[in-house]
Amino acid sequence: MPSFKAWRAQFNLPLKFWLVAAIAFINSVSFTIIIPTLYPYAKQFGLSDFHASLLITSYAISQFIATPILGRLSDFLGRKPLLVVSLFGTVIANLLASVAPVAALLFLARILDGLTGGNMSIARAVISDSTRPEQRAHAFGLFDAAFRLGFVTGPAIAYFAQQLPPLPGVSSLGMSFLAGAAIALVATLLSAIWLPETLAEREPLRLSWQMFGFGRLVRSLGRPRLGRIYLMTFLSGFTFTIFTFAFQPFFLNVLNQEAPMVAAVFVIVGVAGVLTQLLAVGPLTKRFNLVDILAVAIALRALIFFCIPLFPFLWAFLLGSILLGIANTFPLPLLNALLSVNSGEREQGEVLGINASYLSISNALGPAIAGLLVSLSYSTPFWVTSVLTLLTAGFALRLKSSLADPEPTSVRE
């Protein structure tokens, strides 16, 4: 069992890291406030289920397009100004959504939020700038824990915001967007006032159409080491987001649960994830190869997805949610750590931005595929994603021989 001194050493990270972690928490709260709100809010505008789903897709596609651009601009202009601008974009988007009189403005708000929503790649670049290579796996894990803690807090704040007396021109559901705007404003001010610039040396600003094209994303798959990690991020996100859409109709219609229980599931998964980040990620990443941990975590996901339709009982689903919260803790921070140590110091923003774009497009495609599979049966998405997830775990194991692990003497590409 690790000593108190060793446990404390795990949290011995620069102040800049803890400031960015606090920003990540606030940012995730402002985002997750709308998760239990967006669908019923869309129905207030008379949107069909399909059109309501396009609100999710429009956000994800916008984020996919903008994220690598924001990441690359942060290599030119610095981390701080891009982080402040992107956070303020979330403030404006949520304000617009809270008072939107027609569905078109609601779509515009979601697109704006997506275009400015790539700030997590900039925040991760701050971590890369501020930590040593051997610290990064644990640092990214704690950062992800702060983000996940927001996923626990956001839905609860949304509920309480809807109980407040609505302001003029704002519905009770719109109050959740207003609360999200207020919290995003706190993150904006925190970044503007207290966050120092972490990029030691900026590149000269060079604007080109290539920054806005998809060719660079396609070519990035051909880069040694990095291309395989990008593909791994897409596969991991794609298989998981099939589940995140499919579990809701299964939960409501097969398990016969009420809509408020959906928020409770998010809380269970979030709490399990935060505790795992705080207690397990650091020790495990110091003892085992990162790719091995990644493959085991994804294989555990596959097993959980397979078992959900086999045991259609509430107790089994809640147990699976706890295990899923534990397993889902590892993939994203481990992939970011592998990217960080397999890329150059001056390209961290671009590399992490491209990776976030692959995650964004998986977030757009996964729910759409899940929607098609749900039309066959409520169980079909789970069978399909369990097989795809197991294949993804196998692909993860094949990465081991070609990647550098985050160690003090890491080999840079």
Question: Which pLDDT value is given to residue 107?
Answer: 93
Residues 6+ away with beta carbon under 8 Å from 397: 291, 292, 295
User: Is residue 302 a contact partner of residue 389, using CB atoms and an 8 Å limit?
Assistant: yes
**How large is the average pLDDT for residues 174-191?**
88
Question: In sequence order, which residues have a C-beta less than 8 Å from that of residue 57 and are 6 or more positions away?
Answer: 364, 367, 368
pLDDT band, residue 28 (cuts 50/70/90) = confident
**How many Å apart are CA 251 and CA 268, to the nearest integer?**
14
- Pair 78, 202: CB distance under 8 Å: yes
pLDDT of residue 407: 45
Burial of 312 (0-12, 13-18, 19+ CB in 10 A): middle
| pLDDT bracket for residue 409 (50, 70, 90) | very low
Q: What is the mean predicted confidence (pLDDT) over 143-151?
A: 76
| Terminal-residue alpha carbon distance, the chain | 36
Closest by alpha carbon to 185, among 114, 90, 93? 90
Residue 229 CA to residue 350 CA, distance in Å, equals 14
Residues shown for the chain: 413
Query: What's residue 412's pLDDT?
Result: 34
**What percentage of the chain reaches a pLDDT higher than 70?**
87
What percent of the chain stands above pLDDT 90? 18
Q: Domain 13-202+219-402 - what CATH class? A: mainly alpha
Give the model's confidence band at 356: pLDDT under 50 very low, under 70 low, under 90 confident, else very high: confident
Q: Hey, which of 1-15, 39-53, 316-330 has the most confident mean pLDDT?
A: 316-330
Average pLDDT, the chain: 79
Burial 249-268 (b: 16+ CB within 10 A, else e): ebbeebbebeeeebbebbbb
Q: What's the pLDDT score for residue 54?
A: 77
What letters, b where the CB count within 10 A reaches 16 and e where it falls short, cover 21-38?
Answer: bbbbbbbbbbbbbbbbbb
The Cα–Cα gap between 213 and 208 comes to 9
pLDDT tens digits along 157-178: 877 888 889 888 898 888 888 9
Q: What is the pLDDT of residue 4?
A: 43
Picking from 133, 200, 212, the residue whose alpha carbon sits closest to that of residue 408 is 133
Domain boundaries, the chain: 13-202+219-402
Q: How many C-beta atoms lie closer than 10 Å to residue 303's C-beta?
A: 15
- DSSP state letters, 157-186: HHHHHHHSPPPTT--TTHHHHHHHHHHHHH
pLDDT at 173: 82
- Residue 207: per-residue pLDDT: 59
Of the listed ranges 12-16, 93-97, 164-168, 345-349, the one predicted with least confidence: 345-349
pLDDT at 198: 72
Per-residue pLDDT band at 413 (split at 50, 70, 90): very low
Task: Report the alpha-carbon distance of residue 31 to residue 218 in Å, rounded.
Answer: 29
Phi, psi (rounded to 5 degrees) for 78 = 105, 155
Q: What is the structure's pLDDT at 10?
A: 54
Q: What is the mean pLDDT of residues 207-229?
A: 71
pLDDT of 109 higher than 90: yes
1 pLDDT higher than 60: no
| Residues 325-339, mean pLDDT to the nearest whole number | 84
Q: Model-level pTM?
A: 0.70
Tokens at 201, concatenated: 């040396």
Question: What is the distance between the alpha carbons of residues 72 and 79, in angstroms, rounded to a whole number?
Answer: 10
**pLDDT in the model for residue 316:** 93
- pLDDT of 345 reads 64
**Predicted confidence band at 317 (pLDDT cuts at 50, 70, 90)?**
very high
pLDDT of residue 303: 95
Mean per-residue pLDDT, 34-59: 77
**What distance in Å separates the CA atoms of residue 81 and residue 73, rounded to the nearest whole number?**
10
| Amino acid at the residue 153 | T
